[in-house]
Structure formats: C-alpha cells, structure tokens
Amino acid sequence: MESDTQSRNRALKQMEHVVREVNREVLNSMIPPLETDHMLPVMAVVAKARGLYLKELFKTAQSCDGGVPSDGQLQKLKHSREAFEELLAGAHALEVVVERGYVDVAF
C-alpha cells in the first residue's frame, strides 16, 4: 500500500508537470522562441535603469551637503528605484521561464 508521503510526492510531480505544460502552452503562444537578440535589449534596459538609479543616488548625496535630502529629491530617487526594480523583476521572470523550460529557446 502507498504511504501518504508517496501519494503527496506523486501529486506534487503531477502538479509540476501540469504547471510546466500550461506555462509552455500559454507562453509559447505569446512570445517567439527566445534568441540572444531578444534578450540583449531586456538586459540592456535593466542595466540602464540600474545606472540611472545609482546616478540619482550619487546626485542626491552630493547635493545634500551633509544634510538630509528634500522630499523632491527622495521622490526622484524613489521613482528611479521603482523603475529599476520593476524592470529587474521582469528580467528575473524571464530567467525563471528559461530555467524551468516554459519557453522555447533558439540559441
């Protein structure tokens, strides 16, 4: 007789298979097979956003003259960080779908 642990493991394997198949079907119908040329612009925009965020950080720090940044300065810095984090999250999502085999790759 099968143990509860074995039943759970089998169910988890089935779920993993279903998740993979559903993701492959949906994602491959929405985006073309990934090539290096597709990923370079994504990584470049993330790097640029990171650079703009850090540039804004240094600009803010230098203009404070040892004081505290103004609300306006903090708002600009926050906006730069949020843009960077959003783009980074997208790049991470791309990395995950490639790692899990959810999308076709053509390298």
Number of domains in the chain: 2
Residue pLDDT tens, the chain, 107 long: 778 999 999 999 999 999 999 999 999 999 999 998 989 999 999 999 999 999 999 999 999 888 999 999 999 999 999 999 999 999 999 999 999 999 999 88
pLDDT of residue 66: 81
Same domain, 39 and 26: no
- Determine the pLDDT at residue 68: 94
Q: Are residues 57 and 107 in the same domain?
A: yes
Q: Do 37 and 26 fall into the same domain?
A: no
The tens digit of pLDDT for each residue in 76-85 reads 999 999 999 9
- Cross-strand pairs, 105: 34
pTM of the model as a whole: 0.84
Looking at the fold, whether 65 and 88 belong to one and the same domain comes out as: yes
SS in 3 state form for the chain? CCCHHHHHHHHHHHHHHHHHHHHHHHHHHHCCCECHHHHHHHHHHHHHHHHHHHHHHHHHHHHCCCCCCCHHHHHHHHHHHHHHHHHHHHHHHHHHHHHCCCCCECC
Do 36 and 88 lie in a common domain?
A: yes
Domain assignment of residue 100, given as a range: 32-107
| Whether residue 37 sits in one domain with residue 26 | no
The verdict on 6 and 19 lying in the same domain is yes
Are 51 and 3 part of one and the same domain? no
36 in the same domain as 26: no
pLDDT tens digits, 34-43: 998 989 999 9
